[in-house]
């Protein structure tokens, strides 16, 4: 160039040269490895005639050999756990959460004004009907009683004198000595004083009543609350807050609600042998007590007789209230406590049932996977007559003794071979009450969503 600058072009031939050199070295290595001194001409001729075979041998060395691709394998057996359908009398149980109510709650108030001298109980103490609770200063009321007694004595004396004057006036008026007007005046005066004596007597009774109000007694058996007003304070009659509250917890009322669909069965049981509810302390309460080292309450159900069914249905929830009375001898239940309630509505005689884990819901409704004698899965629709959290009672679709899958359904399709893992799962006892998480009325077959929802992994 005229400016003296020399421009160099990039050499684009070097990659091709590297590839050719590599192939040549590889072919040379193959020829050398196949060289036979006894037949040098033949070995070289075979290498020249098959140059691509030599090159292929090079690339085969880089790829690790020519392993053949394995052909398709047959279906593998899916591991599952199974249970056997059983026949038994199954109770139809509904479960719900209830609340403990006090049989009676009384707010203790003073009926007179005065200083509160003392309290005759401890906070939280159990008291009996008629026990002394509080003492209000009685001195002013004792003085009022004495004053009323004196007033009545004075008026009684005046009334006696007036009565004697009236009787003499009547006698003298008959003889014409006293006028009729004087006689009537004295008789009226005697009657007025007699009425005054009666008023004095009523005032004395009122004074004695107020004196009696200075001692406050318990109107019921129950447990006292904390003090609302402490001794030493001035109390006033019918103060809104009161002094304490007494809660009767022997017996207690147990209240709970059930769906209105169960009302006919409930009424039938009430008219028959009576409706019995089984009550237990909630599991979360037992676990909380165990966490702090307290002895857990007994988890066995306590039978209580239902003695009240409400006369109206709650329109907001579609439920009806029931109540039962429990003696509560060991003070196990406290007002406001949540409890688990189970009520047996009916009994299904000789019903076929399976563990609830075996029941699946698909687009066409409930179904189970049945394992035949050939250890292959069969998808079979069933009709559910009743279910709770532990078992499902089947109205049709399954026979006693047939095996159903309770775990591993996600691996199954109709005809899939299975491998049974472990011993067959035990079917939950039908007489055992289900887990009390919600009210479970008798279930019917329901259609599921667009996609089947089998259980298990």
Per-residue pLDDT band for 66 (boundaries 50, 70, 90) equals: very low
49 and 173 co-located in one domain = no
Nearest 5°: the CA angle 284, 289, 295 is 130
Looking at the domain assignment, is residue 178 inside a domain?
A: yes
Tens digits of residue pLDDT in 76-122: 889 999 999 999 999 888 999 999 999 999 999 999 999 999 999 99
Q: What is the pLDDT of residue 426?
A: 61
The predicted structure's pLDDT at residue 136: 96
Structural domains in the chain (count): 4
Is 451 within the bounds of a domain?
A: no
The boundaries of the domain holding residue 166 are 138-213
The domain boundary, picked from 320, 345, 370, lies at 345
Whether residues 123 and 145 fall in one domain: no
Residue 393 lies in a domain: no
Query: To the nearest whole percent, how much of the chain has pLDDT over 70?
Result: 72
pLDDT band at 56 (very low <50, low <70, confident <90, very high): low
384 within some domain = no
CATH of the domain at 290: 2.40.30.170
The pLDDT of residue 81 is: 93
Which has the closest alpha carbon to 353: 400, 286, 409, 305?
400
The residue ranking higher by pLDDT, 186 or 19, is 186
pLDDT tens for each residue of 311-360:
999 999 999 999 999 999 989 899 999 999 999 888 899 999 999 999 99
* pLDDT computed for residue 401 by the predictor: 92
Same domain, 275 and 303: yes
270 and 328 assigned to the same domain: yes
Same domain, 178 and 279: no
Residues 6+ away with beta carbon under 8 Å from 127: 121, 133, 218, 221, 222, 223, 224, 246
Pair (327, 237) in one structural domain: no
pLDDT tens digit string along 152-173?
Answer: 999 999 989 989 988 888 888 8
Question: Looking at the domain assignment, is residue 311 inside a domain?
Answer: yes
Is 405 a member of any domain? no
* Domain presence at residue 396: no
Q: Is 124 in the same domain as 149?
A: no
Do residue 182 and residue 287 come from a single domain? no
- 74 in a domain, yes or no? no
Q: What CATH code is carried by the domain that includes residue 191?
A: 1.10.287
One domain for residues 181 and 204 = yes
Residues 114 and 187 in one domain: no
Domain boundary among 286, 315, 345: 345
Tell me, what's the pLDDT at 135?
A: 97
Domain limit, last residue, from 297, 326, 345: 345
Whether residues 116 and 230 share a domain: the answer is: yes
Q: pTM for the complete prediction?
A: 0.61
Q: What is the pLDDT of residue 242?
A: 93
289 and 257 in a single domain? The answer is yes
């Amino acid at each position: 160039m005229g400016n003296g600058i020399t421009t160099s072009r990039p050499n684009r031939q070097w990659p091709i040269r590297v590839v050719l050199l590599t192939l040549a070295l590889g072919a040379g290595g193959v020829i050398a490895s196949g060289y036979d001194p006894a037949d040098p001409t033949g070995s070289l001729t075979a290498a020249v005639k098959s140059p691509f075979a030599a090159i292929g041998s090079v690339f085969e060395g880089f790829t690790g050999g020519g392993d053949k691709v394995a052909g398709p394998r047959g279906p593998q057996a899916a591991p599952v756990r199974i249970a056997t359908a059983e026949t038994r009398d199954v109770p139809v149980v509904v479960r719900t959460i209830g609340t403990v109510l006090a049989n009676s709650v009384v707010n203790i108030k003073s009926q007179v004004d005065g200083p509160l001298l003392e309290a005759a109980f401890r906070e939280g103490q159990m008291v009996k009907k008629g026990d002394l609770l509080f003492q209000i200063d009685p001195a002013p009321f004792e003085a009022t009683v004495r004053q009323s007694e004196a007033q009545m004595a004075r008026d009684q004396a005046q009334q006696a004198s007036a009565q004697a004057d009236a009787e003499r006036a009547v006698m003298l008026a008959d003889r014409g000595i006293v006028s009729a007007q004087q006689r009537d005046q004295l008789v009226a005066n005697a009657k007025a004083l007699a009425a005054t004596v009666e008023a004095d007597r009523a005032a004395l009774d009122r004074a004695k009543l107020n004196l009696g109000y200075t001692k406050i007694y318990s109107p019921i058996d129950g447990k006292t609350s904390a003090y609302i007003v402490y001794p030493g304070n001035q109390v006033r009659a019918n103060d809104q807050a009161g002094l304490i509250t007494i809660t009767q917890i022997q017996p207690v009322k147990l209240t709970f609600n059930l769906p209105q669909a169960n009302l006919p069965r409930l009424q039938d049981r009430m008219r028959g042998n009576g409706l019995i509810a089984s009550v237990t302390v909630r599991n979360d309460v037992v676990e909380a007590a165990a966490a702090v080292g307290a002895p857990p309450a007994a988890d066995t159900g306590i039978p209580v007789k239902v003695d009240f069914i409400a006369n109206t249905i709650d329109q907001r929830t579609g439920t009806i209230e029931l109540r039962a009375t429990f003696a509560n001898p060991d003070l196990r239940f406290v007002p406001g406590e949540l409890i688990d309630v189970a009520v047996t509505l009916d009994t299904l005689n000789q019903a076929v049932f399976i563990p609830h884990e075996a029941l699946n819901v698909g687009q066409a409704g409930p179904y189970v996977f049945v394992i035949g004698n050939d250890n292959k899965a069969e998808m079979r629709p069933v009709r559910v007559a009743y279910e709770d959290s532990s078992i499902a009672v089947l109205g049709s679709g399954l026979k006693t003794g047939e095996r159903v899958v309770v775990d591993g359904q996600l691996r199954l399709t109709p005809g899939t071979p299975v491998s049974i893992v472990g011993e067959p799962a035990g079917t939950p006892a039908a007489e055992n009450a289900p887990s009390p998480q919600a009210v479970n009325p008798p279930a019917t077959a329901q259609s599921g969503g667009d996609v089947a929802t089998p259980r298990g992994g």
